Amino acid sequence: MSTRTFRITVRGEFDGLDAGQRAELLARAAEHDMLRAAFTPEGNLSYDVAARPAFTFRFLDSGEAEEDILEATERAEEAARAWLAERGYGYKHLRSQAEDLSQAALGKRQRRAARNQG
């Protein structure tokens, strides 16, 4: 059985931040800019708290079966909650979306390469 790669996106909104927490997020905003966003095993956080309270974590995980995506999603959500809890950041509207890359549609170049290999 081959390994499947999962991309999990966990979104939410910061909630009830005090002035110190907001200042801390603003001070570290460059590290969490959307332009640096990537899917990583440990999770990558992006936000622009100056514009709106929304945040996005991006996780990369894997499994052997299609149903492993459910456990991967649970791990990603728990990791996001833990990161927020460690820092005392309140949040709301936490939701996630997962994609099994083995099921993703091929792009035009990938289809052409697959045809040329056959």
Distance CA 65, CA 71 (A): 11
Token pair 């091929």 in the structure block, residue: 106
pTM recorded for the entire structure: 0.85
**Residue 10: its pLDDT value, please?**
98
Task: For domain 4-117, give the fold.
Answer: Alpha-Beta Plaits (3.30.70)
What is residue 69's three-state secondary structure?
Answer: helix
Going from N- to C-terminal start, the domains of the chain cover: 4-117
Sheet with 44-47: list strands edge to edge.
44-47, 54-63, 4-14, 91-100
Encoded tokens for 105? 């549609």
Query: Digits of tens for pLDDT over the chain (118 positions)?
Result: 578 999 999 999 999 999 999 999 999 999 999 888 999 999 999 999 999 999 999 999 999 988 999 999 999 999 999 999 999 999 999 999 999 988 876 566 655 655 676 5
